[in-house]
Amino acid sequence: MSVSDRVFAGSIPQLYESQLVPLIFEPYAVDAAQRLHALKPSRVLEIAAGTGVVTRALATVLDPDTQIIATDLNQAMLDQAAANGTVRPVQWRQADAQDLPFDAGGFDALVCQFGAMFFPDKPRAFAEARRVLRPRGMFVLSVWDCLEANEFADAVTAALGDLFPRDPPCFLARTPHGYCDRDAIARDLAGGGFGQAPHIETIAARSRAASPRVPAVAYCQGTPLRNEIEARGIPLAEATDAAAAEIARRFGCGAVDGAIRAHVVSVAA
């Protein structure tokens, strides 16, 4: 993983929230919230909360007395999440998933949507998740499936490969879509101390936007892919235009509709 893969700064948090969240994250956030609702937890921890799409869903469906603590490594993402707001109070806290600042056994459930791919030491992060869960507490996490199964991300990667043939930006393939091997996920969870085999579901959904430019901006400007583009010296607008052109070539020039697919993992402590 490149160091820049974990840098969500500048205008990335705002664009991530306004462009990427409705494009790909919302259906899986609803799914995660419903899974936790079925557990009837009294205290929930979210790690790698980003700009709070899951947090908002949890605050809506969980019992009003359920305590929700949402954490992220990047304070800028948490600031955006807090600015978005929730229907009831939650606690926002900056924290590294590999070194959680919470006592052992303090949570009934832990959720992590599309964050595990960014953990440099995944068994260590999973060990921390296991540590803060009560016995038989549930860990629910999701990771993206392979790049080819997520069509807009694949198109953006292909476009940038043509634009930078000698040194293509590989963020999307390397990190968001680079942790999709189900056996590897199970091994890392076992390495983190989860003794039970995880239940892994592969869930397909659709990603829709009003025009090809929407996903182009979302990926090129609202993720750390932007850091790779800017490091190569070509204007960000040029890279975004190239991505939009490739999406238009594959999906048309009007409203676009592409496949997305993710693994949703549940495992008990």
Give the pLDDT confidence of 94-136 residue by residue, as tens digits.
999 999 999 999 999 999 999 999 999 999 999 999 999 999 9
Task: Identify which of 6-10, 156-160, 229-233 has the greatest average pLDDT.
Answer: 156-160
Q: Enter the pTM of the model.
A: 0.96
pLDDT bucket at 6, cuts 50 / 70 / 90: confident
Domain harbouring 173, CATH code:
3.40.50.150
Range of the domain at 72: 3-268
- The pLDDT of residue 8: 85
- The pLDDT of residue 51: 97
Question: 216 with 185: CB under 8 angstroms?
Answer: no
Give the separation between CA 249 and CA 94, rounded to whole angstroms. 41
- The pLDDT of residue 9: 82
- The pLDDT of residue 238: 97
Three-state secondary structure readout of 201-227: EEEEEEEEECCCHHHHHHHHHCCCHHH
Judged against a pLDDT cut of 90, whether residue 212 lies above it is answered with yes
Give the separation between CA 7 and CA 116, rounded to whole angstroms. 15
Mean pLDDT over residues 262-269, rounded? 98
pLDDT bucket at 5, cuts 50 / 70 / 90: confident
Percent of all residues in the chain with a pLDDT value above 70, rounded to a whole number:
99
- The pLDDT of residue 2: 72
181 three-class SS: coil
The answer for residues whose C-beta is within 8 angstroms of residue 1's C-beta and 6 or more apart is: 118, 120, 174, 175
Task: Specify the number of domains making up the chain.
Answer: 1
Q: Please, how many CA atoms are within 13 Å of residue 188, restricted to the half-sphere of its CB?
A: 21
- The pLDDT of residue 263: 98
Mean pLDDT over residues 41-52, rounded? 98
Mean pLDDT over residues 234-260, rounded? 97
Give the pLDDT confidence of 133-183 residue by residue, as tens digits.
999 999 999 999 999 999 999 999 999 999 999 999 999 999 999 999 999
pLDDT bucket at 265, cuts 50 / 70 / 90: very high
